[in-house]
Structure 1
Amino acid sequence: MITSVGVFVIFFWAVLQALPLFGLNLGPLLASAGIAGLAIGFGAQTLVHDFINGFFILIENQYDIGDNVRIAGVKGTVEAMSLRHTLLRDEDGTVHFVPNSEIKIVSNTTRDWSQLTLRVTVAYSEPSDRIVKLLQEIGDEVRHDPAYAEDIVSDIQVPGIDRVGNGEAEYLMLVKTRPNKQYAVSRELRRRIKECFHMQNVQTPGPGRMYVVDQDRAS
């Protein structure tokens, strides 16, 4: 190996010495080689940074394929990952190739469990205890429904009123679900809340208006 390197160095030096004999000016050639070397060096530096970041992302298990994350200002689902880059697909279906060197902070919304926060708005005149009881009953029904029991990791909580104003009151429902299951659970809760409020004649903030907002989606 050392002999081969030595032969190459001697050959390269001999070529450089022979070029002026053929009327070739080494100055521009060496300058171009220097500029090319700098460009390659900067490119290699970024590439090395990509690989180092990618290595730690994989070793520390910061996220995995299928996780919903926010990295480098982009939010989406991880579809592929390597030492070089991470591929995300956002809610619009757009695919983003994010170089690992651009990832400074990782926000993983599907690690271990997901938090679903529903804000249910009704008329101010509705008795608070009645609304809390109805929402808790709906939460318990969904929690023990075989179709959703495995997706909800703990009892659904209804802390009570979170906001009052403009003739309306806003109640909170807090739900912990398995990763990526909060959307299906949210849709079912909203469906049951609508049906229940209709059957129980719960007054809404205005005619034909009932607000059940998923805080994650609202943000």
Structure 2
Amino acid sequence: MFTNFSSLDFTTIPDYLLRVITAALILAIGLFAARLLSAVVGRMVLHAAEARSSAGLSPQRAKTITGLASHLTSAVIVAFTFIIMLSLFVNSAGLLTFLGLFGAAFGIGARPLVSDYLSGLIFFFEDQYNVGEKVEIFGIEGTVIDVNLRTTILRSPSGEIYIIPNGEVRVVRNFGRGEFSLASVRVSIQSSQLDEALRILEDLVPTLCEQLPELLEVPTILSEDGALGDRVDLTVFAKAQYGQGVAARRKLLTLVHDALKQSQVSVTPPITP
């Protein structure tokens, strides 16, 4: 009924408790170091990237680099912290065996997770997209609100949040980068008024750059399908500064419509962008 306390070996208790206390201290120090050094390393990497970039870094790129560097630093420190903690309870040979078996099992069983982290490392060096840019991934269109080692987080125009594993990102459509935006206008006119419409548009086109500063070059007049019938489709092909295509097209629509209307050239169906 009663335990014979004289048979207990108290010499093992202090050593065991000492290891537990030491492990707890190592864990606390490791978590604190991860939080502190992740911020420091993030700023250091940002300064180094800015020094190498002749044109400077955009705020979005700077935020992306800082976030990825911070996440990478935290992951490395936490991993080393747990290895040190294990070394308190397992001898060196056993620890190496355990880590080898764990690494092999983890690599096979958690292959998608490993792929996500490796892709996150690739994003650290490649400038595919940054926080704040509008992109399309897997047909999902939205603004990048966070990029970490494992996932990319998008916010759609309607407000939903999409979390995409980095390992699944194959094709990215980046709306935030480009050389120009199209501002073309298409009109459909009667064949009997084709000559008059071409004359009006050819007189209008050289003046458009003065009236529309958003345009990059003088527009051209095209017949995209080349078909001739009761109606002929003409396109005023215009290139605008990147991101200004919608505004330039709206102004171009008004100018084309007014020029044709003044010369009594009917447009059927009505002008559409």
| TM-score, length basis structure 2 | 0.52
Q: Quote how far apart the aligned CAs of 1:105 are.
A: 0.9
Q: Does 1:80 align with 2:145?
A: yes
Q: Quote how far apart the aligned CAs of 1:9 are.
A: 1.9
Conservation of the 8 A alpha-carbon contact between 2:221 and 2:234: yes
Conservation of the 8 A alpha-carbon contact between 2:181 and 2:244: no
1:127-157 deviation line (CA, Å, top 9, x unaligned) = 4343334334444433223xx42x3222222
Corresponding residue to 2:239 among 160, 176, 182: 176
Aligned to 1:212: 272
Unpaired runs of 5+ residues, structure 1, are 14-37, 214-219
Q: Does 1:105 align with 2:186?
A: no
Q: Does 1:120 align with 2:180?
A: no
Q: Quote how far apart the aligned CAs of 1:111 are.
A: 2.7
Aligned to 1:7: 88
Q: Quote how far apart the aligned CAs of 1:50 are.
A: 2.9
Distance 1:171 1:58, change over 3 A: farther
Aligned to 1:194: 257
| The structure with more radius of gyration | 2
CA distance in 1, matches of 2:261, 2:84: 88
Determine helix, strand or coil for the equivalent of 2:235. Answer: strand
Distance 1:93 1:187, change over 3 A: farther
Aligned-CA RMSD value: 3.7
Letter in 2 for 1:111: R
Higher relative contact order (CA 8 A, sep 6+): 1
Aligned to 1:62: 128
Conservation of the 8 A alpha-carbon contact between 2:135 and 2:144: no
Aligned to 2:72: none
Q: Quote how far apart the aligned CAs of 1:107 are.
A: 2.5
Distance 1:212 1:97, change over 3 A: same
Distance 1:160 1:79, change over 3 A: same
Aligned to 2:216: 153
CA distance in 2, matches of 1:46, 1:194: 55
Unpaired runs of 5+ residues, structure 2, are 1-79, 95-104
Determine helix, strand or coil for the equivalent of 1:204. Answer: coil
Distance 1:126 1:161, change over 3 A: farther
Decide which structure has greater strand share: 1
Conservation of the 8 A alpha-carbon contact between 1:71 and 1:107: yes
Comparing 182-191 and 195-204, the one that deviates more:
195-204
Decide which structure has greater helix share: 2
Conservation of the 8 A alpha-carbon contact between 2:107 and 2:114: no
Aligned to 1:131: 197
Comparing 182-191 and 133-142, the one that deviates more:
133-142
Aligned to 1:35: none
Q: Percent identical across equivalent pairs?
A: 20
How many residues were matched structurally? 181
CA distance in 2, matches of 1:67, 1:138: 36
